[in-house]
């Protein structure tokens, strides 16, 4: 067995790959070989460590020293000073908000405030080496289930854990397993919904990239429990790294005996395949996903019957999302009481959030259910950049709603979010600051859902189109007072009559922004003004004569030649020629140009 003095974990998630981690890894290998240290130091390419804005990231063990924003030219110093001499490279270490150097990653609030269950292995192992997974109790839960439990006992464990589906609605996982187990059919199927389509969400992608065996093991456990021998992972083609690593893991699981015929010599057969989707958002809805797996157009179907009774090829089918499956093995090994002790009374365990937008620490975090929005944004997320004020956070993607300052101390759990007109969704969390126009945010999400509508039902196909037209008109300064009533009326009709969850929840961003930021809608309509200065059609730039020095910098940078004036005299902006790009205001060194 190989023994190494140190291990260097190189973040190999999609984010770090895009910022150059592969080059870092090659440089590390080259430097170690040139110093004959490659037999002492092990390089491990992991999945996403979580701190996406700090990449490329590497962590050196056993010290746990965390290096951020590493460049190829930094590698020589890391090898010479740290790996060879044991002295961390100071200027590459993390610095807290006060500018103090933090060497150990567990001393960084982004990491030390997390409780990682679904993400327990993500960023800690090489996802393409099955031995790394096995060394951290991988496939022990599957062996335990196959040798010690009857299917009904597994269902009871999952039910007692209180685990709810992490894909959006929060349906009790144990109950779903029980319904599928009791359904009759000559064949049954286990499906993993990895069609993660919410803007800003990358939780499921990161688990598949960083810990694919966790999903494989859980699906095999589910197969044994419900009486299925075949599983499918439905993942979008936009996740090539996830598809590649999952495919590799399936092959290795078969070689290990965790998939295929007679798993661990117990007589149980279970295998699985990947189904790659074309990236239709509506295929995240389970009946549309089923249709796509079958090779049909991805369109939703009325329910009932539910997939537990009639799913893939008309057979009983269990569908859970990636994060839900990622919790199964720890529940089996540590017990349902352990899992149920984390979180709130009705929302047990932890939740993974993908933080994006106007926040200092973008990335992936896992916290106990019930953690407040304030803790997530300001403790783990590091607050809002450039001293700006927090304005809103959108949860649940296009199907969710916005949270405001009054919700900062809200418990982030299923029921609390629903009570304020939002929803957990899959865990996307987009943070917005004071410079965000909430009318434009609503327009953006309606544009997304309208574009992604499959067009099967009239309320979604036409209703969202009409809502988008109204919102676009408002942001262009052409809104009229009746638009507010029309938006609310359309929203209520769509919610009540659309065929699937996509259509039924499409109006949520509009309704929530109108509820909490109605003054912004009114400013757009009545005052023809965008308070955030975002909607171009409503912007107007003017020169402050008392501040203008006549330096002509603004005129030189105006692409439309809309600014005129004599040297050392106040300049003038021709509003008819102005294209409202804002270049003049950005370039003026005397702050003499402002929005009017």
The CATH class of 350-433 is alpha beta
CB-based contact 41:8 (threshold 8 Å): yes
Eight-class DSSP state of 394: E
How far apart (Å, rounded) are the C-alpha atoms in residues 371 and 417? 12
Give Cα separations from 593 to 500, 579, 586, 587 (angstroms). 49, 15, 9, 9
CATH topology of domain 6-112: Glutaredoxin (3.40.30)
| Tens-level pLDDT at each residue, the chain (596 residues) | 468 899 999 999 998 999 999 999 999 999 999 999 989 999 999 999 999 989 899 999 999 999 999 999 999 999 999 999 999 999 999 988 777 888 888 899 899 999 999 999 999 999 999 999 999 999 999 999 999 999 999 999 999 999 999 987 799 999 999 999 999 999 999 999 999 888 888 999 999 999 999 999 999 999 999 999 999 999 999 999 999 999 999 999 999 999 999 999 999 999 999 999 988 888 889 999 999 999 999 999 988 999 999 999 999 999 999 999 999 999 999 999 999 999 999 999 999 999 999 999 999 999 999 999 999 999 999 999 999 999 999 998 888 889 999 999 999 999 999 899 888 888 889 999 999 999 999 999 999 999 888 888 999 999 999 999 999 999 999 999 999 999 999 999 999 999 988 889 899 999 999 999 999 999 999 999 999 989 988 988 999 999 999 999 999 999 999 999 999 999 999 988 999 888 999 999 999 998 87
CB-based contact 319:208 (threshold 8 Å): no
100 contacts: CB under 8 Å, gap ≥ 6: none
Q: Fold identical between 350-433 and 540-595?
A: no
- DSSP-based helix, strand, coil % in the chain, nearest 5: 45, 15, 40
**DSSP readout, 149-217?**
--HHHHHHHHHHHT-B-TTSS--BHHHHHHHHHHS--S--EEEEEE---STT--HHHHHHHH-HHHHHH
pLDDT of residue 102: 87
pLDDT of residue 183: 97
CATH topology of domain 438-526: de novo design (two linked rop proteins) (1.20.1440)
Helix (H) or strand (E) holding 272: strand 271-277
How far apart (Å, rounded) are the C-alpha atoms in residues 134 and 522? 59
How far apart (Å, rounded) are the C-alpha atoms in residues 60 and 46? 13
The domain limits of the chain are 6-112, 130-338, 350-433, 438-526, 540-595
Q: How many CA atoms lie within 13 A of 436 on its CB side?
A: 25
pLDDT digits (tens, 9 = 90+) for 102-128: 888 889 989 999 999 999 999 999 999
Eight-class DSSP state of 306: P
pLDDT of residue 425: 82
Other C-beta atoms lying within 10 Å of the C-beta of residue 419: 11
pLDDT of residue 1: 41
* CATH, range 540-595: 3.30.70.20
Q: Is the peptide bond before 305 cis (omega within 30 degrees of 0)?
A: yes
Q: What's the token pair of residue 450?
A: 């309208």
pLDDT digits (tens, 9 = 90+) for 191-205: 999 998 888 889 999
Name the CATH code of domain 130-338 (choices 3.20.20.70, 3.30.200.20, 3.40.50.11540, 3.20.20.140).
3.40.50.11540
């Amino acid at each position: 067995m190989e023994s190494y003095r140190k291990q260097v974990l190189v973040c190999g998630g999609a984010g770090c790959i895009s910022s150059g981690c592969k080059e870092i890894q090659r440089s590390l290998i080259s430097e170690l070989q040139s110093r004959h240290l490659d037999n002492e130091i092990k390089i491990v390419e992991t999945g996403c460590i979580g701190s996406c804005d700090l990449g490329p990231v590497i962590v050196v063990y056993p010290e746990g020293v965390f290096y951020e924003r590493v460049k190829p030219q930094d590698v020589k110093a890391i090898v010479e000073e740290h790996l060879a001499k044991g002295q961390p490279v100071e200027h590459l270490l993390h610095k807290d908000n006060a500018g103090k150097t933090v060497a150990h990653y567990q001393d960084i609030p982004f990491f030390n405030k997390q409780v990682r269950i679904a993400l327990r292995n993500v960023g800690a192992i090489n996802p393409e080496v099955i031995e790394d997974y096995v060394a951290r109790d991988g496939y022990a839960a599957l062996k335990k289930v196959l040798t010690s439990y009857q299917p009904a006992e597994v269902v009871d464990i999952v039910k007692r854990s209180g685990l709810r589906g992490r894909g959006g609605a929060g349906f009790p996982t144990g109950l779903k397993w029980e319904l599928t187990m009791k359904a009759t059919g000559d064949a049954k199927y286990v499906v993993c919904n990895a069609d993660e389509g919410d803007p800003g969400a990358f939780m499921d992608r990161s688990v598949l990239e960083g810990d694919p065996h966790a999903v494989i093991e859980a699906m095999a456990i589910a197969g044994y429990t419900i009486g299925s021998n075949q599983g499918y992972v439905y993942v979008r083609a936009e996740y090539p790294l996830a598809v590649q690593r999952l495919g590799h893991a399936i092959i290795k699981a078969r070689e290990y005996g965790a998939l295929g015929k007679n798993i661990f010599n117990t007589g149980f057969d279970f295998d699985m395949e990947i189904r790659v989707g074309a990236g239709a958002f509506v295929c995240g809805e389970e009946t549309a996903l089923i249709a796509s797996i079958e090779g049909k157009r991805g369109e939703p179907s009325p329910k009932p019957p539910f997939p537990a009774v009639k799913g893939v090829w008309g057979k009983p089918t269990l569908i859970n999302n990636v994060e839900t499956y990622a919790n199964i093995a720890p529940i089996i090994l540590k017990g349902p009481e352990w899992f149920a002790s984390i979180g709130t009374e009705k929302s047990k365990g932890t939740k993974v959030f993908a933080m994006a937008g106007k926040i200092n620490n973008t990335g992936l975090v896992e916290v106990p259910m019930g953690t407040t929005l304030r803790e997530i944004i300001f403790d783990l997320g590091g607050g809002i950049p450039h001293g700006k004020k927090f304005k809103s956070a959108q949860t649940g993607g296009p199907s969710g709603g916005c949270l405001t300052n009054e919700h900062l101390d809200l418990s982030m759990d299923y029921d609390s979010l629903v009570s304020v007109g939002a929803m957990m969704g899959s865990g996307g969390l987009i943070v917005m600051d004071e410079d965000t126009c909430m009318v434009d945010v609503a327009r953006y999400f309606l544009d997304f859902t309208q574009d992604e509508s499959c067009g099967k039902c009239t309320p979604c196909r036409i209703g969202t189109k009409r809502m988008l037209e109204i919102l676009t008109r408002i942001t262009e300064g052409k809104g009229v007072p009746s638009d507010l009533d029309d938006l609310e009326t359309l929203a209520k009709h769509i919610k009540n009559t659309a065929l699937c969850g996509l259509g039924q929840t499409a109006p949520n961003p509009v309704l929530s922004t109108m509820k909490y930021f109605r003054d912004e809608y009114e400013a757009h309509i009545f005052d023809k003004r965008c308070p955030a200065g975002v909607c171009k059609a409503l912007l107007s730039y003017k020169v402050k004569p008392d501040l203008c020095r006549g330096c002509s910098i603004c005129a030189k940078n105006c692409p439309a030649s809309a600014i005129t004036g004599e040297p050392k005299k106040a300049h003038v902006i021709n509003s008819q020629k102005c294209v409202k790009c804002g270049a003049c205001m950005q370039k003026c060194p005397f702050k003499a140009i402002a929005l009017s």
